[in-house]
């Protein structure tokens, strides 16, 4: 077969531990034999982040702005143990947080649905995609532990001298308080990313907050979404035959559980963090969850939702074969190839991305899977394979599609 040609390089962000190992396996088995791969390579492995004082993470995010599409391997977010383990100069920030701060935008997480693995919620027959706002709120908060009795106030001082002071609480004894923020600009871009994504996927869009309790903060999110929908998207949605639907978060949770799926659920930063793990687990596992960061300017960064699978890596280092699930990492690559193909008008590349996903899914549906899935799958005949065996089976399925 003649290799598929690319025009613009993908921004390739390599990572850590087991996922770094799988990254190389996937390239060797499923990409190089089929695609004349063009990437601009950034090594976000923890050692190299430390050597470059984390400049490599910033460079990789800037390259994503230049080229438009990136694919990222899972990376270690250092904690005290990792600082010791890797003898780090300092406890570097989470690469994902650094990249999100540079690109802004919304994280979309979609489960990979396969036959034989039934969602814990029986009525879910179609995927539910979580759209998580990736800026502000509790992730950029300021917190205080107040040791004794006193007054807590919230103060805004405008550059024009305007001053707003609100009394928060009179403390009779010790307690805690917190302030957090978001910006109209970020909320608007969150809204537009969600509307665009729903149109792209031809799926309804749901949005939920706690606006009845948070009458200014959450209500503002609701108002911005409603205004942008009316002014910019209502017609497009009606033409596409899809709906925008707002409801209170507790009502949304109840409706989601009773639904058959098949919609995008937009959530504020914290709600999205919590609900995406719930949805991933209920659909099967975190190893079957894809993730893409979509910036308001239309930059895309694809990755797996899971981490570096540390426990498996230590087994791998002992020379033991590991049955680590490569699906979400394969789908990070296929998502990036498909988007690159769309932007560059390369039908062959889009077709390859579709076939790669089809081959991966059909391998599992034929009963060949890693241990984590075998534990969940209701198929009668299952063969548990290690990661490399799985990838070579996918390759056979992929070759059969050409
Ligand atoms: P993890 O890597 O997601 O793994 C947690 C557990 O989930 C694993 O031990 C494994 O369970 C199971 N698992 C996850 N992915 C799997 C896969 N592909 N195949 C099979 N099983 C899978 O989370 P973690 O161990 O808490 O974190 C490890 C490192 O990842 C941390 O340093 C963290 O900072 C980093 N992290 C990075 C990202 C990112 O880059 N986006 C996200 C989250 C975490 P069993 O061990 O029971 O088999
Ligand atoms: Mg989380």
- Map out the domains of the chain as residue ranges: 1-110+289-402, 118-136+182-283, 142-179
Tell me, what's the pLDDT at 26? 98
Residue 289 bridge partners (DSSP)? 111
Dist CA 113 CA 119 (whole Å)? 9
Query: With contact defined as beta carbons under 8 Å apart, do 69 and 344 qualify?
Result: no
306 CA → ligand 1 middle, Å: 5
Dist CA 157 CA 115 (whole Å)? 57
Give yes or no for residue 308 CB within 6 A of ligand 1: yes
Residue 132 bridge partners (DSSP)? 107, 267
Tell me, what's the pLDDT at 70? 98
Phi-psi sector, 116: left (phi>0), alpha (psi -120 to 50), beta: left
Phi and psi of 384, rounded to 5°? -85, 125
Which atom number of ligand 1 is nearest to the Cα of residue 15?
Answer: 40
User: Hey, what are 346's tokens?
Assistant: 């390369």
* Token pair 């040791």 in the structure block, residue: 147
Tell me, what's the pLDDT at 90? 94
Contacts of 131 (CB under 8 A, 6+ apart): 106, 107, 108, 193, 194, 197, 205, 264, 265, 266, 267, 272
Give, for ligand 1, the residue of 107, 307, 327 to mutate: max count of ligand atoms closer than 8 Å to Cβ: 307
Measuring CA to CA, which residue among 375, 377, 370, 373 is closest to residue 393?
A: 370
User: Hey, what are 278's tokens?
Assistant: 């719930």
Tell me, what's the pLDDT at 114? 92
Give yes or no for residue 311 CB within 6 A of ligand 1: yes
Q: Residues 1-110+289-402: name the CATH superfamily.
A: Isopropylmalate Dehydrogenase (3.40.718.10)
4 CA → ligand 1 middle, Å: 33
Measuring CA to CA, which residue among 371, 367, 394, 363 is closest to residue 380?
A: 367
Tell me, what's the pLDDT at 283? 87
pLDDT in tens, the chain (402 residues): 799 999 999 999 999 999 999 999 999 999 999 999 999 999 999 999 999 999 999 999 999 999 999 999 999 999 999 999 999 999 999 999 899 888 888 899 999 989 998 888 989 999 999 999 988 899 889 999 999 899 999 999 999 999 999 999 999 999 999 999 999 999 999 999 999 899 988 999 999 999 999 999 999 999 999 999 999 999 999 999 999 999 999 999 999 999 999 999 999 999 998 998 899 888 888 899 999 999 878 899 999 999 999 999 999 999 998 999 999 999 999 999 999 999 999 999 999 999 999 999 999 999 999 999 998 899 999 999 999 999 999 999 999 999
Dist CA 256 CA 62 (whole Å)? 37
User: Is 124 exposed, middle or buried, given 0-12, 13-18 or 19+ CB atoms closer than 10 A?
Assistant: buried
User: Is 371 exposed, middle or buried, given 0-12, 13-18 or 19+ CB atoms closer than 10 A?
Assistant: middle
User: Is 16 exposed, middle or buried, given 0-12, 13-18 or 19+ CB atoms closer than 10 A?
Assistant: buried
Tell me, what's the pLDDT at 213? 97
Which atom number of ligand 1 is nearest to the Cα of residue 77?
Answer: 34
* CA-CA-CA-CA torsion sign (178, 135, 192, 245): negative
Dist CA 225 CA 245 (whole Å)? 10
* Token pair 């930063």 in the structure block, residue: 269
Give, using CA atoms, the residue closest to atom 5 of ligand 1: 309
Give yes or no for residue 76 CB within 6 A of ligand 1: yes
**How many CA atoms, within 13 angstroms, populate the side-chain half-sphere of residue 237?**
21
Phi and psi of 160, rounded to 5°? -90, 10
278 CA → ligand 2 middle, Å: 10
């Amino acid at each position: 077969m003649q290799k598929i040609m690319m025009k613009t390089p993908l921004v390739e962000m390599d990572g850590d531990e087991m996922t770094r190992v799988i990254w190389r396996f996937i390239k060797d088995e499923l990409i190089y034999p089929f695609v004349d791969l063009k990437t601009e390579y950034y090594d976000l492995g923890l050692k190299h982040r430390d050597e470059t004082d984390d400049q490599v993470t910033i460079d990789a995010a800037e390259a994503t702005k230049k080229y438009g599409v990136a694919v990222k391997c899972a990376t270690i977010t250092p904690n005290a143990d990792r600082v010791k383990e890797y003898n780090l100069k300092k406890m570097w920030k989470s690469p994902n947080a650094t990249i999100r701060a540079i690109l802004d935008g919304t994280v979309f997480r979609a489960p990979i649905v396969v036959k034989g693995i039934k969602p814990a919620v029986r009525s879910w027959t179609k995927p539910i995609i979580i759209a998580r706002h990736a800026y502000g709120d509790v992730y950029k908060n300021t917190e205080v532990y107040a040791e004794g009795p006193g007054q807590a106030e919230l103060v805004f001082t405008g550059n024009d001298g305007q001053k707003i002071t609100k009394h928060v609480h009179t403390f009779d004894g010790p307690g805690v308080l917190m302030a957090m923020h978001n910006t109209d600009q970020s909320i608007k871009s969150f809204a537009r990313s969600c509307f665009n994504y729903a149109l792209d996927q031809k799926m309804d869009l749901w949005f939920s907050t706690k606006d009845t309790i948070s009458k200014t903060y959450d209500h503002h999110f609701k108002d911005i979404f409603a205004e942008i929908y009316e002014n910019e998207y209502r017609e497009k949605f009606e033409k596409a035959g899809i709906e925008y639907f707002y409801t209170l978060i507790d009502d949304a949770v109840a409706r989601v559980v009773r639904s058959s799926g098949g919609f995008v659920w937009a959530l504020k930063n914290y709600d999205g963090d919590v609900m995406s793990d719930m949805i991933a687990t209920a659909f099967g596992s975190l190893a079957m969850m894809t993730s893409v960061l979509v910036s308001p300017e239309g930059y895309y960064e694809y990755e797996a939702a899971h981490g570096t699978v540390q426990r498996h890596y230590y087994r791998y280092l002992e020379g033991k074969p590991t049955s680590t699930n490569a699906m979400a990492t394969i789908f990070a690559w296929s998502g990036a190839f498909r988007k690159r193909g769309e932007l560059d008008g390369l039908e062959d590349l889009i077709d390859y991305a579709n076939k790669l996903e089809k081959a991966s899914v059909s391998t599992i549906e034929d009963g060949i899977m890693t241990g984590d899935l075998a534990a969940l799958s209701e198929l009668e005949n299952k063969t548990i394979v290690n990661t490399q065996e799985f990838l070579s089976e996918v390759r056979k399925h992929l070759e059969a599609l050409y």
